[in-house]
Amino acid sequence: MATSNTTTQPRDNWGSKLGFVMAAAGSAVGLGNIWKFPYTAGESGGGAFVAIYLLFVIFIGFSVMLTEFAVGRKTGLSAVGAFKSTDRRWSFVGVIGVVSGLLIMGFYPVVGGWAIAYIYKIATGLLSTPEAIGDSFGGFISNPIQPLLWMGLYLIFNILVVIKGISGGIEKAGKVLMPLLFAILILVAVKGMSLPGASAGLEFLFKPDFSKVDSTVVLAALGQAFFSLSLGMGCMITYGSYLKKKENLVQTTAMVTAMDTSVAILAGVAMFPAMFAFNMEPAAGPGLIFVVVPQLFAEMGGIVGLLLALLFFIGLSVAALTSSVSLLEVVVSYLIDEKGMKRSTAVFSASAVMAFLCVFASLSLGGVGPTLFETGAFDIFDLLTDKIFLAVGGMLVCIFAGWRLNRSELEKEITNDGEFKFPLFGLWYNLVKYVIPFAIAIVAIAGVKAGFD
Ligand code: PFF
């Protein structure tokens, strides 16, 4: 099916309900869950961070996702158009989203590239020298050329998926690959928990020690919730715009949120018990999975260890891919809907900018390129989006829905004109209108301030 090029043509729809849930979950489940969540939890003290993150997912993430789906489906337009069609003065919220998409895609494909590089590295003998795995990762990411080639390959995969349009590309990829990933993670988690000494890892992850919490930890948990659920940048607005009128938005939101959160927790359970069993450092940073997982499988040894390691990094690459295509799609559908570009032109222009940013991000890890407050491009793109842009974007979407849209129209959209009951509508509406914007403002201001202290 061809994807519509202008807003006057009928919009391409998701082939089936399951297809939509899988694709939206595919957007949500990605490097954020498997790469970022464990290392952020490790750096932020474990259990207390996880508890706050879960609270944010339930009270803020769920509500913001439902808001984004409703706004997207109601308008049938992507990020910028969705706001503009209601009130031109709100277009900037969509533009912030498109900029966030570009910035996240300024480092995400770098890590996606590492993931596919690790499939190759494991297949060609990385596990045979377990002592060298840590140094090998450091050497690899600071190399000026190699990670760039893998990043390029990773971006090409994205281009191939997005160029085929919504029902052709993204949906098919999501349907096949998501269940595979889930199965691999369960396998890895079971293996990790069977190791002697593993229970200390579970305790680290689930036993909150609130004395370790300060405002930077709270902001990290909020940022993690937004990043992981793909919120605050119009991604779920864009996906929602392709959603059929008869689907139940509340149920869809609940399914996507539950899937995303269970994968993050599962990734934690796959990582921490093994780390504690091997006496590794939980605050090891972004290299965590690239060091811990290969080491875990190297110690396991044999063909089973090799196969599981391969499957893990294939799963990680796939999860990353189904997320980054959604990031690319946000920028692409903006260029199609607002700038009248052909899909292929939009895909190539957006990818060119992303590749350019990624070169800076990747080089910064080897200490090459410009810095700001001694922070390199990779960390700047990550910090800006994760800690500021997404939270502010989420806050603005809520203010838009609560104060600019009409309550009864929102209720109609969410309940499909009264076809479904949503007894918590009043609670959701008040959260979105009053509580969430306020909560985000406080967490963001306190967290950013503490970051500078
Ligand atoms: N949620 C994705 C992940 O966890 O890896 C990243 C992401 C995708 C963030 C799409 C934002 C977005 F709009």
Cα–Cα distance for residue pair 385/330, rounded to 1 Å:
15
Indicate the pLDDT class of residue 174, thresholds 50, 70 and 90.
low
Cα–Cα separations (whole angstroms), residue 72 to 161, 241, 242: 22, 4, 8
List pLDDT tens digits, range 93-105: 999 999 999 999 9
Is 44 within 8 Å of 217 (Cβ atoms)? yes
pLDDT at 302 over 60: yes
Please check whether residue 4 lies inside any domain of the structure. no
List pLDDT tens digits, range 236-291: 998 898 888 888 999 999 999 999 999 999 999 999 998 888 888 888 788 888 98
Cα–Cα distance for residue pair 180/202, rounded to 1 Å:
24
Cα–Cα distance for residue pair 80/449, rounded to 1 Å:
30
Q: Which residues, 6 or more positions from 324, have their beta carbon under 8 angstroms from its beta carbon?
A: 30, 105, 108, 109, 112, 154, 158
Please check whether residue 13 lies inside any domain of the structure. no
Measured in Å, residue 124 CA sits from the centre of ligand 1 at 30
Range of the domain at 162: 19-452
Looking from the CA of residue 330, the nearest atom of ligand 1 is 13
pLDDT at 18 over 90: no
Pocket of ligand 1 (CB under 6 A): 27-28, 30-33, 104, 227-228, 230, 233, 235, 323, 326-327
Tokens of 205: 């992850």
Q: Which residues, 6 or more positions from 240, have their beta carbon under 8 angstroms from its beta carbon?
A: 68, 69, 70, 71, 72, 73, 249
Indicate the pLDDT class of residue 8, thresholds 50, 70 and 90.
very low
Please check whether residue 9 lies inside any domain of the structure. no
List pLDDT tens digits, range 28-73: 999 999 999 999 999 999 999 999 999 999 999 999 999 999 999 9
Cα–Cα distance for residue pair 330/346, rounded to 1 Å:
11
Cα–Cα distance for residue pair 114/34, rounded to 1 Å:
13
| Best residue among 65, 170, 181, 235 to mutate for probing ligand 1, ranked by most atoms within 8 Å of CB | 235
Please check whether residue 2 lies inside any domain of the structure. no
Cα–Cα distance for residue pair 397/90, rounded to 1 Å:
10
pLDDT at res. 171: 63
Measured in Å, residue 201 CA sits from the centre of ligand 1 at 26
Structurally, the chain folds into a number of domains equal to 1
Looking from the CA of residue 319, the nearest atom of ligand 1 is 5
CA nearest neighbour of 12 among 20, 23, 4, 22? 4
Helix or strand run (H / E) with residue 354:
helix 343-364
Measured in Å, residue 68 CA sits from the centre of ligand 1 at 14
Phi, psi of 371 (to 5 degrees): -130, 160
Cα–Cα distance for residue pair 265/202, rounded to 1 Å:
11
Please check whether residue 11 lies inside any domain of the structure. no
The protein residue whose alpha carbon is closest to atom 12 in ligand 1 is 230
The protein residue whose alpha carbon is closest to atom 9 in ligand 1 is 230
List pLDDT tens digits, range 185-231: 898 888 888 888 889 999 999 999 999 899 999 999 999 999 999 99
CATH number, position 83: 1.20.1740
Looking from the CA of residue 228, the nearest atom of ligand 1 is 4
Please check whether residue 358 lies inside any domain of the structure. yes
